[in-house]
Amino acid sequence: MQLSDQERDELRDSARKFLDNEVSSERVRALLDDADGLDRTAWSAIVELGWAAILVPEEHGGMGATWAEMSIILHEVGRRVAPLPLLSSAVLGVEALVGCTSDALRAEWLPAIASGERILTVAAQGPTGSVVPSELGAVLSGATGSLRLNGSARFVPDAHIADAIVVAARDANNAVTYVIVERGAPGVTVQVEPTVDQTRRLANVTFADVTIADAALLVEPGNGAALHTRVAAAGAVAVCIDAVGAAEQMLFMASRYAVERQQFGRPIGSFQAVKHHCANMLIAVEASRASVAFAINALDDPSADVAEGAAVAKSFAGPACAEACQLAVQVHGGIGFTWEHDSHLYLKRAKLDEGLFGSTSWHRRRLGQVVLSR
C-alpha cells in the first residue's frame, strides 16, 4: 500500500505533532543517562500509531507501505533526536525478515514487531563497524544440523532491549548467512558500549559456541549475500535520513537564533559570515535531502541497485549533515557549546549517523569503483 502525496503530508504533520509533544527535548534529556535509553511511554504510543508496522507486509499484520512512508517517520525522529528503536526493529529487523527465505520466521516475528510486542535488531557490522563480509566478526561453522556461532558483532543498535538478534555471520570462505538468536540464549552476551551520542545505545554482542538450529536460519547457509546487501543499504539510508532530520532542525534553530541574537547593535544574521554559514547549512540540507531521495527511491524499486543508492546518500548526506550541525554550533557561539543547549545532541547524533553502516571514505571509494566499472 502506497500513500498519496496528501496522505504523506498528513503522516508528516501528525508525526511532527506527536514527536514535538511526546518526545520533547526534556524527555530526550531525561533519558540520556538511563540504562535502557528507551522512551517506553512514547514507544507504546508509537506502536499504536503503526510506525513499527510501516514496512511490514499486510499479511503479517503490517501496513505494507514503502520507504517513501518509512522515511517520513525516520526524518521526523531525527529532527527530535528521539531515543526510539525504529532503526533496529522497524527497519533492520523487518528488512531482514521480509527478505529472508523462512516463512516460519516471518510468521512468527513480523506480527510481533508490527504490534510492538517484541523488538528485534540486526547485527550487521563487524568489530571495525564494517559491513564487508570478510570483516564481519560473527563466524558460523559446522554443517546444517550442527551449526555453531562464535565471535562477535559490534555497534548493534538496541541489542540490550531486543528480544532477539539477527546476526550477519560469515563462514571460513566469507560467505554470509543470516541467523536469529534469542538475546538470552546460552552463549550470547550483550554489552552496551556507551557512545558520545547518548540518544542511542549500541552494543557489543559476543557469541560463545551458540547452537544454531535449522529453524533459526534466515537463508540457506552461505546464501545471505543479497540479503546482507539489502539490510546494510537499508541501515545506511536510514541513518542518512535521520541525519537530514537532525540537520534540518539545526538549520531552523540556527537561523532563528541569527535573527534574534544581537551584537554590535544588529542581528548577527545580518553579518555576512553568519548569513553564509546559514546559507551553506540550507544548501547542505537540501542537497542531502536530494541525495537521500535517490537512495529511498532505489529501496522502493526492485530493479534498482540499493547499494549504489546507499553509497550516494552516505557519500554526500552523511558528511554534509554533520557539517551543517557543526556550523549550527558555531552560529550559536558560547551558548552552543553548553550542555544546556541542544546543539551538541544534534551534532553528536549526526556524527554517529555519519559513521554507522560504513564510513564516508569507504562509501565514496566503493561508489568510485561502481562508476569506473561502467
- Residues within the interface to other proteins (CB under 8 A): 251, 255, 258-259, 266-267, 269-270, 272, 274-276, 278-280, 282-283, 286-288, 290-291, 293-294, 297, 311-313, 315-317, 361, 363-372, 374
Give whichever of 37 and 319 is closer to other proteins, judged by the CB atom.
Answer: 319
| Closest distance of CB 15 from other proteins, Å | 21
The closest alpha carbon to 79, from 3, 12, 147, belongs to 12
Q: Residue 228 corresponds to which cell in the numbers above?
A: 546482507
| Closest distance of CB 301 from other proteins, Å | 9
> What sign does the dihedral 354-360-366-369 (CA atoms) show?
positive
What is the CB neighbour count within 10 angstroms for residue 128?
A: 11
> How many whole angstroms separate alpha carbon 43 and alpha carbon 198?
17
| Closest distance of CB 145 from other proteins, Å | 42
Q: How many helices (H) and strands (E) does the chain have?
A: 11, 9
132 near 365, Cβ under 8 Å? no
| Closest distance of CB 344 from other proteins, Å | 22
* Interaxial angle between packed helices 67-79 and 5-22, expressed in degrees from 0 to 180 and rounded to the nearest 10: 30
Q: Say if strands 147-157 and 138-141 run parallel, antiparallel, or are unpaired.
A: antiparallel
Q: Phi and psi (nearest 5°) for 182?
A: -70, 145
Looking at 220-365, which runs of residues are DSSP E strands?
A: 262-263, 266-267
Give whichever of 283 and 335 is closer to other proteins, judged by the CB atom.
Answer: 283
| Closest distance of CB 286 from other proteins, Å | 5
| Closest distance of CB 321 from other proteins, Å | 12
Give whichever of 246 and 296 is closer to other proteins, judged by the CB atom.
Answer: 296
Q: Say if strands 120-123 and 164-170 run parallel, antiparallel, or are unpaired.
A: parallel
> How many whole angstroms separate alpha carbon 101 and alpha carbon 105?
9
| Closest distance of CB 299 from other proteins, Å | 14
Contacts of 341 (CB under 8 A, 6+ apart): 332, 335
Q: What SS3 class is residue 242? A: helix
Q: Residue 93 corresponds to which cell in the numbers above?
A: 529487523
Give whichever of 89 and 288 is closer to other proteins, judged by the CB atom.
Answer: 288
37 near 31, Cβ under 8 Å? yes
Give whichever of 104 and 371 is closer to other proteins, judged by the CB atom.
Answer: 371
Give whichever of 196 and 283 is closer to other proteins, judged by the CB atom.
Answer: 283
Give whichever of 211 and 280 is closer to other proteins, judged by the CB atom.
Answer: 280
| Closest distance of CB 14 from other proteins, Å | 21
Give whichever of 183 and 277 is closer to other proteins, judged by the CB atom.
Answer: 277
